[in-house]
Amino acid sequence: MVLGVTVISVGVTPVPKAAPVVRERPAPEPRRAERLVVLGDSTAVGLGDPLPERGGWRGVGPLVAAALGVGEDGYLNPSFSGARMGCVRTGQLPAALAHRPDVALVIVGMNDTLRPDFDAERIAAELTAIVRELSAIGTTVLPVRFHDHSKVFRLPPSLKRALGARVAELNAAIDGVVETEGIACLDLDALPGAYDLTVWSVDRLHPSELGHRLLAQGFAGLAAEAGFAVPEPVSLTCSGGVEPSTAGHLGWLVAKGVPWLWRRGREFLPYAAVIMWRSFRERVG
């Protein structure tokens, strides 16, 4: 006897695999900056932001130090008025390296634009050396690129074109270093209110207290992006400084401003004359 066997096919529904659990790594805690150095010229010194009672200047450096929580022992500022990029490289950098800062602000270049031996390639090489030597010891280096100072400092149109051309050359050199070295840079031209007269002192050469606070706010922001804690954000409310009197303004202009302009003007005029001649030839050509 033959038995019939019925085969029943049972479909098995595969059990879906559980989706892998992705655990996001918590963002690293901002680290505390213990040491700060400020390198550069008279803006780095703090000119334009005079201190009451004690005298002297405050400026961007102490404001950034306060924002980052850097104590007095951790703050170093070997900058001096009139400094050029080469001065920072040879005269200020050794002290900065010995200080071993976590963050270094580099505010220099405008004095180079007014000199007859201006050389953009040399400036780029000097800035590259500054950045590389500081980066080699673990320092976050924050330079600046400059605004068009001819829009702030009142000059005849031909001189404005000459100064604007020089600043453009300087910025191109700085931009090249920033891109090559992969570092952040504070663009003064992009700062809000950079061309408002309230951010400039009477000489139109140096920031006022508000101008220094804008610089400090910009630097503190870049430091935060680099992973540093900013326990005390920079306020743009002016306080703690002193507003120079009209007599003080005039005294500075007579004693310091006019002699400085005369010295730099004599050095800058030959270059300006070349720019004016080129402009004239373009118009008549």
Torsion, Cα 214 215 220 222, to 10 degrees, reads 110
pLDDT at 240: 60
How distant, in Å, are the alpha carbons of 102, 117, 145, 251 from that of 123? 24, 11, 13, 34
pLDDT at 175: 98
Measured distance CA(253)–CA(274) in Å, rounded: 29
**pLDDT per residue rounded down to tens, the chain (285 residues):** 444 544 444 455 565 665 566 566 766 789 999 999 999 999 999 998 888 666 788 999 999 999 999 999 999 999 999 899 999 999 999 999 999 999 999 999 999 998 889 999 999 999 999 999 999 999 999 999 999 877 776 666 777 788 888 999 999 999 999 999 999 999 999 998 888 888 887 777 789 999 999 999 999 999 999 999 999 999 999 876 555 555 554 454 445 544 555 455 555 455 445 444 454 455 455
The Cβ of residue 163 has, within 10 Å, a number of other Cβ atoms equal to 23
pLDDT at 126: 98
pLDDT at 143: 98
pLDDT at 74: 98
Domains and CATH numbers, the chain: 36-233+241-284 (3.40.50.1110)
Who contacts 33 (Cβ-Cβ below 8 Å, separation ≥6)?
68, 69, 70, 74, 102, 103, 223, 228, 229
Provide the whole-model pTM.
0.79
- Using alpha carbons only, give the angle 190, 128, 206 rounded to the nearest 5 degrees: 40
Measured distance CA(41)–CA(78) in Å, rounded: 9
